[in-house]
Amino acid sequence: MKSDILAFAITAKLFVVSIIIISSLFPNHRADAFSPPKHSCTSKLDYFLQLILDGFHKWDAIYFHFISINGYIYENTLAFFPLLPLTLRIISRVTYFFPSLWSLWVHNILIGVFWSFLCHVLGAIQMYKLSKLTLMGEYISVTSALLYAINPASVFFSTLYSEPFYSLLLISGLVWLAEGSYTQGCFVLSLTAACRSNGIVNCGFGCFPHFIFLINELSDIYKQKMSIFFAFFKVFEAVLYRILIFFSIIGGSLLPYLFYQYYAAYLYCFTEPKPSYLSFLTPEYPSQELADFAEELGVLTPYTVNATVHAVWCPGIPWSSYSLLQKHFWNVGAFRYYELKQLPNFLLALPVLILVFKTVSLFAKRAPRTLLSLGILAETEKQRLILPHIYHIIFLSLYGMVNVHIQVLTRMMFSSCPVLYWYCASVLLDEENDVFTRVARSRKSKSKKGIKIHGLDDMHHVVAPSTYPPWSSQRILLYYFYSYIIVGCVMHSNFLPWT
């Protein structure tokens, strides 16, 4: 089954990449976007590759590509976390074998497209594994993986954005946790905080199993007949041990974020001369073109910082510098995006918010005791395994509606919330009543909808809108997925407002 999922994911990715390449051939919309000086083409092949890859190099992708080439030479680039550009920088330099054929500038984009392709395809396999480990049925697990491969944010999973890398790390970390490999799982989850800022909250996935362990240990102590003194000692020992684990997990998740914030401070807030042995941490001195562009943008470089000139967000190091930087350059903050002119972006985010609401409300309806008791009174192990995903999606959606540019919610939720795919899969298979409650049977000939998934042809069938009745919830859901893929690829690739 995994090989069929892999084949489906590769086919879906090739379809999306093809749309982006074709869209790259059309003239770009004149957008108010970050537009650093472009390199000069070194050959006809270099020019051709730059032409067909143009659609992969839009909006945030320009920032990630710029950072991977030049480092954090402009202060506004610090809003983009380092794991993706650092990975692209290393791979592109290690694999740059043919400098006479095309430039490093183009090669870096090629590597970025390949990396996103690889992460998204592998993420589909991991989604299947995670679904099985969360006690989902075979058909729900397969369908979740298929929907992951064709999610509405596919354009961002195909260009130089951090979503596919982040999502692969997140799902892989959750797989390790579900398999009982807590150290490996927590380590991988901590890496998500170096990829995207919302990765910090993933520490909750690592803490939750230990919270349940603590409750079980306290319950066992309560059931045992022992003296009050010895019982108190056992309780103290159990609580202290788990608290140390909680702090270790939370600290491990915060470390990448804190290191990055102090690195930003090192570049833009510390005015003392930087020691020579740390020169590798400082970007190369900008060319005259880059220096002129920095002046045009009104941004600092590490070489324009001095005793009287430093970044306005420096007082926030380390805790609030990121939010201050976002506020300074993108007007990000609580309810700052609630303007009448942003109504189209709210409408773009509406479908995913509806799906989030339906996911959470279904779980609350099927497992209210589990939801309200933090899993202590869970009726089934499956509910307990799903619960942290419910808390996670609630937090992300509420935070996103208040604090971020609302249109970002589509890619944020579909890259961060496996439970969203489980719910969507249950809609397609007409198993909404069972997806959050009943443990799947090991053998099942078909879904309630009468759909069989025994091979690649069946996979194409289950995600084909024509499989379902007109105006059914299944067909509407798939129309949402496919319309966002096609419209998103065309608009995003031509600098139209699809971010």
Of 41-45, 60-64, 347-351, where does mean pLDDT reach its minimum? 41-45
CA-CA distance, 172 to 331, in Å (whole number)? 33
Segment 335-359 mean pLDDT: 93
Six-digit token pair at 483? 């319309």
Segment 386-398 mean pLDDT: 97
Q: Residue-wise over 283-296: b if at least 16 C-beta within 10 A, else e?
A: beebeeebeebbee
Helices 44-52 and 2-24: angle between axes, nearest 10 degrees: 110
Q: What is the DSSP letter of 197?
A: G
SS3 per-residue string spanning the chain? CHHHHHHHHHHHHHHHHHHHHHHHCCCCCCCCCCCCCCCCCCCHHHHHHHHHCHHHCCCHHHHHHHHHHHCCCCHHHHHCCCHHHHHHHHHHHHCCCCCCCCCHHHHHHHHHHHHHHHHHHHHHHHHHHHHHHCCCCHHHHHHHHHHHHCCCCCCCCCCCCCHHHHHHHHHHHHHHHHCCCHHHHHHHHHHHCCCCHHHHHHHHHHHHHHHHHHHHHHHHHHHCCCCHHHHHHHHHHHHHHHHHHHHHHHHHHHHHHHHHHHHHHHHHCCCCCCCHHHHHHCCCCCCHHHHHHHHHHCCCCCCCCCCCCCCCCHHHCCCCHHHHHHHHHHCCCCCCCCCHHHHHHHHHHHHHHHHHHHHHHHHHHHCHHHHHCCCCCCCCHHHHHHHHHHHHHHHHHHHHHHHCCHHHHHHHHHHHCHHHHHHHHHHHHCCCCCCCCCCCCCCCCCCCCCCCCCCHHHHHHHCCHHHCCCCCHHHHHHHHHHHHHHHHHHHHHCCCCCC
Listed by start position, the domains of the chain span 2-262+337-493, 265-330
Segment 343-349 mean pLDDT: 94
Which residues, other chains included, contact 149 with Cβ-Cβ below 8 Å and sequence gap of 6+? 5, 8, 9, 12, 13, 120, 121, 124
CA-CA distance, 77 to 290, in Å (whole number)? 13
Neighbouring C-beta atoms of residue 135, cutoff 10 Å:
19
Of 124-133, 177-186, 262-271, where does mean pLDDT reach its minimum? 262-271
CA-CA distance, 158 to 119, in Å (whole number)? 9
Please give the pLDDT value at position 323.
82
Helix or strand or coil: residue 124?
Answer: helix
Please give the pLDDT value at position 41.
84
Q: Is the pLDDT of residue 192 over 60?
A: yes
CA-CA distance, 184 to 193, in Å (whole number)? 15
Please give the pLDDT value at position 163.
97
CA-CA distance, 182 to 187, in Å (whole number)? 8
Confidence band (pLDDT; 50, 70, 90) for 440?
low
Q: Is the pLDDT of residue 441 over 70?
A: no
Please give the pLDDT value at position 438.
67
Query: For the chain, first and last CA: distance in Å?
Result: 34
Positions of E strands within 206-299: none
Of 164-178, 277-291, 373-387, where does mean pLDDT reach its minimum? 277-291
pLDDT tens, residue by residue, 443-457: 454 555 556 676 777
CA dihedral 65, 70, 76, 82 (to 10 degrees): 70
Confidence band (pLDDT; 50, 70, 90) for 50?
very high
Q: Is the pLDDT of residue 1 over 60?
A: yes
pLDDT tens, residue by residue, 56-92: 999 999 999 999 999 999 999 999 999 999 999 999 9
Average pLDDT, the chain: 91
